Amino acid sequence: MKQAIYGLVLYVFLMLPPVANLAESVMTIHMHMQMPLFVIAGMLMTPYLKQRFPTFFAKWNRNGVPGIILFMIIIMYWMLPRTMDEALTIYAIEIFKFISLPFLAGVPLRDSWIKLGKMGKNIIFVTLSLLCGFMGILYIFSPEQLCNNYLIVEQITLGWAFLFLALSIIIYFIQQFFVDKTEYE
Amino acid sequence: MIKNKHNAVAIIVVLLFGVALFYVGTDGFQAYTAESARTAKLIDEKPSFPEVTLEDSQERMYPFSEFEGKYVMLTFIYTSCTDVCLQLEVNLAEVYDQIPEKYIGEDIVFLSVSFDPTRDTPEVLDKYRSYFESDGETWRMARIPDQQELDSLLDDFGVIVIPDGEGNFVHNSAFYLADREGKLIDVMDYTKIDEAAQKVTSILDAEAGE
């Protein structure tokens, strides 16, 4: 219950116009801080939602696959250069961002993750790192300005942040093959 | 098995939602950047050039309807620009050279509009004009002194200009072609010079042939 309140506070805080404007003024913060924080807000609210609607999650997201696909779809959608621009210029898209990231990405991610097997998790790690790597290369080496609302310098910075993220996921992915978790539990 | 049915249905629903989301979000898998969406929308809507007053490098003031009856090849620039605008204007000069001379001035005029009216005075524009060997007549450079008129034009044509805080602007660039009635009929990639020149020439040829 405490977690849900923290999640709700974070969620409301992120949506405050001055906070949202500040976060969106820098491209990298928009993509790599504001958006993930919305997902985290959703994740924090998940236990409460599962308590309220236990049958819904058990019934429709039994093995975690529908949820994780939904998560991937939503984050891929927000990786498109166009959606970043439109979140700034079209109000409805901004609202969709506020709703989709916590509730269609954060909530299903947390619900699905514990249900997924090792194989499923590994597939997600590999897909995510490939995706981030691809986006990084796209944003760094694109000769064009991909977003009308951001400078090219910011675009390149964002690209490097993507590569860094991809690398971090890969390192995490690899380390689990060498670390025996049971030693720590 | 019965219980897994819901799960399977959920997978299908989620996938369909994903396809629909990307379809709507990219105009049917066409436009992945806001810029490509903007040009597609402009070509689709063909907005009219709003009534704005231009002041050119020879200090002449006239409304855009001065060019009625002629095609107008447009670019948006500011002269203090050090990167894209230069390339844009160099490329525009090449397009200008590639268009058959008989059409120049008669059927088509070139116009570079500055969106920095405070700094781009007629004198500055005149100097800038000379860099590209524009004659100031069949290829004019002009500013829109009225900020409100300028904003409405930029807005109609979807030109987004961001000041970077150091006196420079970042903006999206393209060649814009307006027809004889002042309606925008095409937005062309400014890096594809030959393609743009061919397109314009073929439009003019087709009309001359009639």
Q: What is the CATH number of the domain that holds B204?
A: 3.40.30.10
pLDDT in tens, B125-174: 998 888 888 888 899 999 998 888 888 888 888 787 777 666 677 677 88
A146–chain B Cβ distance below 8 A for any pair: yes
Strands B161-163 and B108-114: unpaired
Assess whether B77 and B181 both reside in one domain.
yes
As given in the structure block, the two tokens for residue B71 are: 């095609």
Check whether residue B104 and residue B155 sit in a common domain: yes
Residues B26 and B58 in one domain: no
- B183 shares its domain with B98: yes
Q: Is B208 at the interface with chain A, CB within 8 A?
A: no
Residue of B170, B171, B173 best to disrupt the A interface, most CBs of A under 10 A: B170
**If we measure between CA atoms, which residue out of B83, B77, B85 comes closest to residue B117?**
B77
What single DSSP character describes residue B113?
Answer: E
How many domains does chain B fold into? Answer: 2
Q: Please tell me whether residues B154 and B59 are part of one structural domain.
A: yes
B36 in a structural domain: no
Q: Where are the alpha helices (DSSP H) in B46-112?
A: 84-98
Q: Chain A partners of B22 at a C-beta cutoff of 8 Å? A: 73, 77
Q: Report chain A residues whose CB lies below 8 A from the CB of B17.
A: 70, 73
Query: B64 with B167, same domain?
Result: yes
The answer to whether B148 contacts chain A (CB < 8 Å) is: no
Closest residue, chain A, to B158 (C-alpha): A148
Q: Are residues B60 and B103 in the same domain?
A: yes
pLDDT tens digits, A59-111: 899 899 999 999 999 999 999 988 988 898 889 999 999 999 999 999 999 99
Q: Are residues B117 and B197 in the same domain?
A: yes
**Distance between CA B75 and CA B88 in Å, rounded?**
8
Encoding tokens for residue A161?
A: 């942040």
| CA–CA separation, A151 and B43 (whole Å) | 25
Q: Are residues B114 and B200 in the same domain?
A: yes
Q: Containing domain of residue B62, as a range?
A: 48-209
Full-model pTM: 0.74
User: Is B6 one of the annotated binding-site residues?
Assistant: no
Please report whether residue B35 resides in a domain.
no
Rounded CA-CA distance A1/A7 in Å is: 10
Classify residue B189: in a domain, yes or no.
yes
B71 and B26, same structural domain? no
- Domain identity same for B11 and B62: no
Distance CA B193, CA B202 (A): 14
